[in-house]
Amino acid sequence: MKPKINKELLPIKGHYFLFSAGTAPVVPFMPVLARQLGFSSVVVGTIYSILPLIGLLAKPLIGFLADKLQKHKLLFILAQGLTAVAFFCIMFIPSIATTVDFHCHHGEAILNICPSNTDDCQQNTLNAILENKTLTCTMKCQTTESQWDYVCKNWLGGKGCSQKEPFIEIKSQIKKISEIEPTNKCLHFHIEHDKAEHQGESVVLQCPDKDIYKSKCEVECDDPFVNELLRDSSFIPNDEVTGLYQFWLFFVCLIFSWAGMAVVVSVGDSICFDLLGEKHHLYGQQRLWGAVGFGITSLLAGVLVDAISGHSVIKDYSIIFWMTAVILGLDMLVSKKLPASKAQLSSNILKDISKMFLSPRITVFFIWCIFIGLCTALVWNFLLWHLEVLGNNIQGCNGQNSMKTLQGLAMGIQCFGGELPFLFLSGWLLQKIGHVNAMSLVLGAFGVRLLLYSFLVNPWYVLPIELLNGLTFGIFYSTMASYASIVAPPGTEATMQGLVGAIFEGVGVSIGSFVGGLLFESIGGSETFRIYGIVALVACLVHIIVQLLLQKYSKDKTGSPGTYHTPIDAMQILNEPDSNMVF
């Protein structure tokens, strides 16, 4: 029988498509943009451990207000606008000036530079540059009072020393480059100390053996390749990050964007389930349009960033912010077509929700959400980071030329090859195996997926692994959202969606991001993915055992609201004759 097309569901399909399409250009690339700005994995992990806490506060609060005030649609559209504006503002945050170490000692003036991806290929390129031209660089170096005395005595010959300055600006020439400390991949830029200028006058950078001058310098050279290398120098020290206004602008914009997204997701799902009525299992067929939108624009964004950036080490991300602003604007227009929520209002929302925690089965469900959040955090925030590191290690200088295209392809396969088909089949699969078995399946799939990442050598081999996203996100999200809707007492649907989403992101993703950032810096990406994969497999085994014990000894078999339904009970609630299937 030919499926019926429910025109009432077209606006919610349009929203899922446009909202995912609008956030796809920026959300996956935000951690690697932070990496390009100079933030370490610890800083990024800390940021992404705080952002879900914003969702932890925003989702239940706005969900409660939406249920209480019955203003789901208005709050929904306002949150879309907040998300668009906050992301767009990130484009205007000025770049962070990178400082490098300058040493003047034993007759040598040296810039010590430690790029994050230095290799033999880059060093050969630098040597080739110096063979064909004289490299001229301007250094703006910090000077304390004692350092100013050194500069005045050894460089300026006592001229212009009446007033001590916090910086000294020197134009100098580079004569050679050598590699030192192979384990740290640092480079020595040797300065021709007798060919320097200060305020237009020639000076000699005297570096006597008995004195040592060390300082942090901002450096700008007359070769774009060298400048890109300087921009890609060692990450800003973690203890100095909070002193940068760029960090706070970046962080605040992310806070507002994450709050907006949290509200859109939770209230949007509530509106969707309200439209579906008793047909909860059709949720996946609405949500899959989000996968379509995400897959298309994430792939397009990756290709466009590479095309605009050319062979530059520093990527130009401006196009992704324009894409997000335009598409989310369209989403706001489409969302106006959504009907006002008809959700029944509970007389005592907090009391009804609190009853959820009295059921051991629902408590296990919440713990499962936390473990999935731990694993999801590593994929969301550090997979693309891991691919960039692999690209540098294997492909050298050219490792980043097509990196955004690869990352976009990975996002596209996640959506079209994994998430989309499994969201489409989620209702059928849940009817066949039930929520409990689906939860075990998701944990097991996550364990396999993360272990496969840990054994990657060539970043392009990640593409077939992304097919597992259908299980680890498509089935997971449908299971989490539909079950939360099933167990929610009447009138608490938006609040329950907000609560479950907050547990997943505010607890699971938050902890996973923080721990993942620490592990990435201390033991590297491969070992971090391996540890998370093993933990996921162990959690899968424990989940199976606990569910078997609960099934054997639990006395809660009424199937009443607030209980954790067995697979058969839950599917009876979701069951609908095929003849009434709608899309």
Q: How far is CA 543 from CA 85, 284, 364, 376, 551, in A?
A: 41, 24, 8, 18, 12
Max Cα-Cα span within the chain: 94
**Across 95-104, 201-210, 326-335, which has the greatest mean pLDDT?**
326-335
pLDDT of 329: 92
Which tens digits make up the pLDDT trace of 265-308?
877 777 787 787 767 667 667 777 887 888 889 888 888 988 88
Which residues lie below 8 Å from residue 200, measured CB to CB, with a gap of 6+? none
The whole-angstrom separation of Cα 205 and Cα 169 is: 12
Three-class DSSP category at 472: helix
**Is this prediction's pTM over 0.85?**
no
Which tens digits make up the pLDDT trace of 497-545?
667 777 887 788 889 999 998 998 888 889 999 999 999 999 999 988 9
CA proximity to 567, closest of 577, 557, 576: 557
- Torsion angles phi and psi, residue 117, rounded to 5: -130, 35
Judge whether 384 and 405 are in contact, CB under 8 Å: no
Three-class DSSP category at 2: coil
pLDDT of 519: 92
pLDDT of 575: 37
Q: Which long-range contacts (CB under 8 A, 24 or more apart) does 60-63 make?
A: 60/495, 60/498, 60/499, 60/502, 61/498, 62/262, 62/263, 62/266, 62/267, 62/498, 63/266, 63/267, 63/270, 63/494, 63/495, 63/496, 63/497, 63/498, 63/499
pLDDT of 563: 34
pLDDT of 438: 85
Which tens digits make up the pLDDT trace of 3-20?
566 677 788 888 899 998
Q: How confident is the model at residue 123 (pLDDT cuts 50, 70, 90)?
A: low
pLDDT of 453: 94
Q: Evaluate the CA torsion angle 544, 549, 554, 558 in order and state its sign.
A: positive
pLDDT of 319: 92
The whole-angstrom separation of Cα 338 and Cα 73 is: 7
In a 13 Å sphere around the CA of 448, the CA atoms on its Cβ side amount to 14
Does 130 or 391 have the greater pLDDT score? 391
pLDDT of 571: 32
* pLDDT over 60 (residue 109): yes
Strand pairing category for 135-142 and 196-198: unpaired
pLDDT of 557: 42
* pLDDT over 90 (residue 452): yes
Cα Rg of the chain, angstroms: 28
pLDDT of 475: 85
The tokens 């095929």 sit on which residue?
A: 578
Judge whether 236 and 244 are in contact, CB under 8 Å: yes
Judge whether 578 and 1 are in contact, CB under 8 Å: yes
The whole-angstrom separation of Cα 108 and Cα 559 is: 79
* pLDDT over 50 (residue 572): no
